[in-house]
Structure 1
């Protein structure tokens, strides 16, 4: 049995209330930190900006494609479909997951997100041991984990990322979700219009995902790694527990931020699609 129009409207109003709370909080961003990050980026030569932006874009595209073509993705899709069939037995593909009641989609989402946050927490904790390889691999792994977080949010609400347009929109969701708080509201408003760029299965919008303002997030991660490196000498029974805790919390916090944006975006889009299609 599908969600009633009244229930869909109630959920849309709940998401609107979340938007008001969440983005009001984003205005409380630490402006001193923002100013430092802006100045640091301004000192970087212009050609380095472009190379960095292009490099991050390529990394995201390649990582997304690699994940979507992996055995892990196929196994995850099958688990989502098996769970969906518990609620409704005529589910044949990922797009059919949109037939479920919103509470059922939320149940699937909660299962997927719990694992992602735990993964980010564990990966950050391992980084806290501050070995050179662990520090160097932290940022690529964290980006991959959070890109995966967006992908799983899309799956939970029945959006198949093997479609080129959906792949592109997922990258845009990642960009907004992983941005510093003060940048998220303009990005969120742009996300709300992204479906207008879907032409069939293809994307007809701006294909550049990362911009210069987003680079403030990697700068924060560099600051986190510097702090972990400083904390590695603070040992408790031979283990840098303070660095481990700091790394775990930092990565968990970012993944929680990305999952909150991604979950709200895909649920709102799902509800609007249901409302529009009756």
Structure 2
């Protein structure tokens, strides 16, 4: 009989292949189309996304808004933990869908309000998933890991491959990072927010259309949270299985 660890190892292997897949012709074409779309997006949208992402990263690194709520959960097997984590992800997907429907129904102004609200939902999901896997998000290094998980979920093609390579050897990656204050100075805010914005631009532009935006907002937000939850699960599985293999040596 296949053990739970063997099962998730198979799932993890499939996910790794997906992360390392070379960009297709369709993907490269889509990137060109995205560049054209970016020129059509109002500056106000770019400003809201950029400011929201910067505030989210700073809040995550400083940690005071999140860490007070979350403590590592240390009891239960991996299978029991992941059962709880699946429930957590399902909860946040429903929350994001409801929020997207509400803001999407209101057109441009409420559609813009969706960006920071959705970011907050996403980061709370990541903090709760990390805690349920037994990681202490009061540790600044764990919050850095969460930012990498976020980037991995919402980056494309070559950028995604680079972030994945960092996450895969996280202990080695940590050795390359400066202290917390210096890291804040060195974050490439423009690249970080552009990657995120490019990933979500098209559905979010459609969400700004009154009425039609409610359907798009609910569907897009649900999908974004589903993607983020799955990415977080696989990243933490990768770390836990790596630690387990080291313990066996």
**TM-score clears 0.5:** yes
Aligned to 1:61: 58
**What secondary structure is seen at the aligned counterpart in 2 of 1:137?**
helix
- Name 1:208's counterpart in structure 2: 187
Measured on the aligned residues, the alpha-carbon RMSD in Å equals: 3.6
Structure 1 residue 275 corresponds to structure 2 residue 232: no
Distance of aligned partners of 1:191 and 1:53 in 2 relative to their CA distance in 1, 3 Å threshold: farther
In structure 1, distance between residues paired with 2:26 and 2:242: 30
1:93-121 CA-to-partner distances (Å, cap 9, x unmatched) read x2634xx4221121121111111111111
Change (3 A) 1:21 1:62: closer
Q: Distance in 1 between matches of 2:51 and 2:104?
A: 29
Q: Which structure 2 residues correspond to residues 244-255 of structure 1 after superposition, within 5 A?
A: 244-255=214-225
1:179-200 deviation per Cα after TM superposition (whole angstroms, max 9, x unaligned) = 236642331122112222447x
| Structural mapping, 1:116-265, within 5 Å | 116-180=92-156, 183-198=159-174, 208=187, 210=189, 212=191, 215-219=194-198, 221-230=200-209, 232=210, 240=211, 242-265=212-235
Q: Is the 8 A contact 2:107 2:207 kept in 1?
A: no
Structure 1 residue 169 displacement after superposition: 1.3
Q: How does 1:101-120 map to 2 (within 5 A)?
A: 101-120=77-96
**Residue aligned with 1:96, SS:** coil
Contact 1:23 1:185 in 2 (8 A): yes
State the alpha-carbon separation in 1 of the partners of residues 157 and 106 from structure 2.
27
Instruction: List per-residue Cα deviations over 1:159-195 (Å, max 9, x = no partner).
Output: 1110011111111111111223664233112211222
* Structure 2 alignment gaps of length 5 or more: 41-45
Number of residue pairs matched by the alignment: 235
Q: Is the 8 A contact 1:124 1:138 kept in 2?
A: yes
Provide the C-alpha distance between the structure 2 equivalents of 1:133 and 1:41, rounded to a whole number of angstroms: 19
Bigger CA radius of gyration? 1
Give me the whole-angstrom Cα distance separating, in 2, the residues matched to 1:220 and 1:171. 16
Gaps of 5+ in 1: 44-48, 78-93, 233-239
1:75-114 aligned within 5 A: 77=71, 94=72, 96-97=74-75, 100-114=76-90
Distance in 2 (alpha carbons) for counterparts of 1:125 and 1:164:
34
Q: Specify the alignment match of 1:20 in structure 2.
A: 17
Alpha-carbon deviations, 1:197-217, whole Å to 9, x = none? 447xx9689662655275143
